[in-house]
């Protein structure tokens, strides 16, 4: 039978998304106003939304009672 290889990421998703959002914002700060800057800022906003959704999903309020 085929066995899946599983691994845990060394860095949690929240930290990876936060670093990516910061990197995108820094790149956007170096650009002049325009569509490329707006696209980077939009991606950074989406990463920050994903951070909030991850925190909400993993909150203790959503856990089923034991």
| Residue ranges of domains in the chain | 13-56
The overall pTM is greater than 0.85: no
Other beta carbons within 10 Å of 44 = 20
pLDDT of residue 27: 96
Distance from C-alpha of 21 to C-alpha of 41, rounded to nearest angstrom: 9
pLDDT of residue 65: 72
Grade residue 5 by pLDDT with cuts at 50, 70 and 90.
confident
Q: What is the pLDDT of residues 9-59, one digit of tens each?
A: 899 999 999 999 999 999 999 999 999 999 999 999 999 999 999 998 888
Q: Specify whether the CB–CB gap between 50 and 19 falls below 8 A.
A: no
Residue 63 pLDDT > 90, yes or no?
no
């Amino acid at each position: 039978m085929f066995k899946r290889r599983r691994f845990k990421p060394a860095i949690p998703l929240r930290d990876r998304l936060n670093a990516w959002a910061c990197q995108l914002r820094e790149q956007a700060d170096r650009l002049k106003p325009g569509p490329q800057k707006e696209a980077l800022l939009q991606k950074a906003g989406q990463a920050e939304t994903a951070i909030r959704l991850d925190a909400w999903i993993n909150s203790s309020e959503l856990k089923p009672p034991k």
